[in-house]
Homo-oligomer: A and B are copies of this chain.
């Protein structure tokens, strides 16, 4: 399969969330870098190290759940050299009539490679429970 080349971190991010919405594991893995040091931290706290773990867990997640609409709100860009970091808030909605759960903070880290910008790290926070005091230790 010939892979798409992303000219900017934003192009890679757009493709990432499109693949997420479409539950398209091949398109999702085309955004992840081919290197060994890719990693994802799930809202559950689990750390997935390497492409194989990411592809397996995300693939299983895509098979089961309903396809969400994802709206991404920008919070912070950090760029230097061959790295670009984007701190966002992800708002997911499952179905037109469904209630939206609280947004999740997530960080995406992109790296400039020989084949364009690719995702190297994704860390999503758990949804914020309403009324929880910021800074309180987790229950």
* A interface residues (Cβ-Cβ under 8 A, vs B): 37, 39, 41-49, 53, 57-58, 60-61, 65, 75-76, 78-83, 85, 87, 89, 102, 104-105, 107, 109, 111, 120-121, 123, 125-129, 132, 134-138
Contact = CB atoms under 8 A, between A and B. Distances in A.
A135 B49 contact: no
A137 B61 contact: yes
Contact of A78 (B44, B49, B83, B137): B83
Copies of this chain present:
2
Contacts of A53: 134
16 contacts: A37-B76, A37-B78, A39-B75, A44-B129, A44-B132, A44-B134, A45-B129, A46-B134, A47-B87, A57-B134, A58-B135, A60-B135, A78-B109, A83-B85, A105-B123, A107-B121
Contacts of A39: 75-76, 87
Contacts of A107: 41, 107, 121, 123
Contacts of A121: 76, 78, 85, 87, 107
